[in-house]
Chain A
């Protein structure tokens, strides 16, 4: 069964305290791994897509990496405005050939000033 597990479930950081969020997955046939940011009452906001092991992408204070089993979202010197829930999702294909997106439960990040 395809599974996506995010850890930790919640994380509190002080402003400037760097950390990493983990997304481990077991799927049959990875098409892509997606990271999203979600604020309360809003839809997910796209951050990154990673397609193959070894790939890395950066955007401001965020950097996403991918291996064959997991992805990390590194947050460098976070600011309070980085507080949000971060979602990881893995895209695969079903046996019938249709797209399937499997989400992790999310990780709530709180950055204190």
Chain B
């Protein structure tokens, strides 16, 4: 079945550095990828929607310059957290936007900013 591979699974970085998270569709073409953020004991909050070959659509309150999204190919979407600060520490998850019964998620990335 369709699988979304997300890397890295965990990253610890110093404040001020940038972190890139990748989501790859392994056996299908993902024209759309959704990016979520999840705080402990909270639900998944949609941050942005990336579309292959065009600009991402950001949800209200999400800083475009802080969370850079690139969807340059049909199999790869990336989220870059720029100049990360401790308040950016969170669990980030991607999801394939292709309609199918299961709506596949990546395995998530735990970001810890010191």
Interface residue ranges, A against B (CB under 8 Å): 32, 34, 36, 41-44, 46, 49, 87, 89, 91, 98-99, 101, 103-106, 108
Whether B108 contacts A49 by the Cβ 8 Å rule is no
- Contact among A41, A43, A87 for B43, CB-based, below 8 A: A87
Query: Is A46 in contact with B102, judged by CB distance below 8 angstroms?
Result: yes
Distance between Cα atoms of A89 and B110 in the complex (Å): 22
Establish whether residues B108 and A42, one from each chain, have CB atoms under 8 Å apart when the complex forms.
Answer: yes
Among the 9-residue stretches B14-22, B64-72, B76-84, B91-99, the one with 4 or more Cβ atoms under 8 Å from chain A is: B91-99
Main secondary structure of the interface of B (DSSP, over half): loop
Give every chain A residue within 8 A of B104 (Cβ-Cβ): 46
Query: Is residue B107 within 8 Å, beta carbon to beta carbon, of the partner chain?
Result: yes
**Most chain B Cβ neighbours within 10 Å, of A32, A43, A103:** A43
Rounded to whole Å, the gap between the CB of B104 and the closest CB of chain A is 7
**What residues of A have a CB within 8 angstroms of the CB of B93 in the complex?**
43-44
Instruction: List 8 tightest A-B contacts by C-beta distance, closest first.
Output: A43-B108, A43-B105, A46-B102, A103-B43, A105-B43, A43-B107, A44-B105, A103-B44
Contact indicator A46/B43 (Cβ below 8 Å): no
Check: B6 CB closer than 8 A to any chain A CB.
yes
Q: Mark B10-35, 1 if CB is under 8 A from A, else 0.
A: 10000000000000000000000010
For the complex, is B46 an interface residue (Cβ under 8 Å from A)?
yes
User: CB distance A41 to B6 under 8 Å?
Assistant: no
Is the Cβ of B44 less than 8 Å from the Cβ of A87? Answer: yes
Asked whether B44 lies within 8 Å of A41 as measured between CB atoms, the reply is no
**Contact string against A for B residues 99-114, beta-carbon threshold 8 Å, 1 for contact and 0 otherwise:** 1011111111010000
Contact A41 B102 (CB under 8 A): no
How many angstroms from the CA of A42 to the CA of B105 in the assembled complex?
Answer: 10
**Complex partner residue of B106 from A43, A98, A101, A104, CB under 8 angstroms:** A43
